């Protein structure tokens, strides 16, 4: 078994929870603050790591944090220690999720390192991308209503999702603006350690070439209610599947 390839995909699984995004449709609800979800990552039934998604108040702003850590036995071969943050306006008159102010990524996956941030200026429609490892800073043009991957995921959770329909959203990632499609596939009842849930299954079609790039199909189970809690995610790997399952949280 190639542990490096396996754990790289584990990291993608965790991070894909925050890449799921769609275009501006009729909203279902506003996001809940505070909120925290904890997930077990399993491959072939064996626990390989843990992930966490959290949203909290910070004075006049909201911060969303995604983190992923490999299990001790896996870290012997390939350490995963990832943290991604998005800081948003607390209120925004047009959308149910505030526009992002700052997006930061700190990644350690084996020998791979990434330390970058994006500063958003929506009035000037500019994004400043800073790579702290390469010591590079560059400015890019932005369209209206553009998200980073984390805020895009939380935006989709506010929407009314209809089976058989696709939606699109503008995401700034990897120094580009991507128009990402998300397919709403079906409704399904799933039984997990936390209970049985009625869910809607969605599939994001990836384009980004950055840390959110994935070669295999990814499926996400969101509760079929106004909260759209991500309770399960699954993706295929060379041998079997990797599954992320909600094991605790509050909202």
Residue 188 phi/psi, 5° resolution? Answer: -155, 140
Question: 88-102, 201-215, 224-238: which has the minimum mean pLDDT?
Answer: 201-215
CA distances to 2, 167, 199, 218, 219 from 185, rounded to whole Å, are 32, 12, 11, 12, 9
If one counts every other C-beta atom within 10 angstroms of the C-beta of residue 215, the result is 10
What would the pLDDT profile of 184-196 be if each residue is shown by its tens digit? 999 999 999 889 9
Predicted pLDDT at 170: 83
CA pair distance 226, 183, nearest whole angstrom? 18
Encode pLDDT of 196-210 as tens digits.
999 999 988 865 543
CA atoms in the 13 A half-sphere facing the CB of 15: 27
Mean pLDDT of 218-247: 86
DSSP state of 147: B
Highest mean pLDDT among 82-91, 136-145, 232-241: 136-145
Across 35-49, 53-67, 113-127, the highest mean pLDDT is recorded for: 113-127
Closest CA to 127 of 175, 88, 93: 175
Instruction: Answer with the residue of higher pLDDT: 118 or 210.
Output: 118
Give the mean pLDDT of 177-183.
85
Give the per-residue pLDDT at 151.
85
d(CA 139, CA 149): 18
Mean pLDDT confidence for 92-112:
79
Distance between CA 38 and CA 77 in Å, rounded?
24
**pLDDT above 90: residue 124:** yes
Among 29-38, 96-105, 154-163, 181-190, which is the least confidently predicted range?
29-38
Residue 63: name the closest of 37, 40, 38, 35 by CA.
Answer: 35
What does the pLDDT average to over 47-51? 90
Quick check: 18 pLDDT over 80? Answer: no
């Amino acid at each position: 078994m190639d542990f490096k390839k396996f754990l790289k995909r584990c990291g993608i699984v965790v991070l894909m929870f925050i890449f799921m995004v769609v275009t501006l449709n009729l909203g279902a609800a506003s996001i809940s603050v505070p909120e925290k979800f904890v997930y077990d990552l399993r491959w072939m039934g064996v626990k390989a790591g843990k992930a966490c998604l959290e949203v909290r108040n910070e004075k006049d702003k909201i911060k969303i944090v995604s983190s992923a850590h490999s299990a001790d036995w896996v870290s012997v071969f390939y350490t995963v220690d990832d943290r991604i943050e998005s800081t948003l306006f607390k209120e925004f008159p047009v959308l149910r999720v505030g526009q992002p102010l700052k997006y930061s990524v700190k990644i350690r996956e084996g020998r791979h390192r990434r330390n970058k941030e994006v500063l958003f200026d929506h009035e000037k429609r500019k994004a400043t991308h800073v790579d702290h490892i390469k010591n590079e800073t560059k400015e890019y043009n932005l369209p209206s209503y553009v998200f980073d991957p984390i805020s895009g995921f939380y935006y989709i959770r506010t929407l009314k999702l209809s089976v058989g329909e696709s939606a699109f959203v503008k995401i700034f990632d990897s120094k580009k603006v991507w128009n990402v499609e998300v397919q709403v596939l079906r409704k399904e009842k799933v039984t997990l350690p936390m209970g049985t849930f009625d869910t809607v299954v969605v599939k994001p079609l990836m384009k980004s070439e950055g840390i959110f790039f994935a070669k295999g199909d990814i499926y996400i189970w969101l509760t079929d209610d106004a909260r759209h809690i991500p309770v399960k995610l699954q993706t295929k790997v060379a041998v079997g599947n990797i599954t992320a399952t909600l094991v605790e949280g509050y909202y």
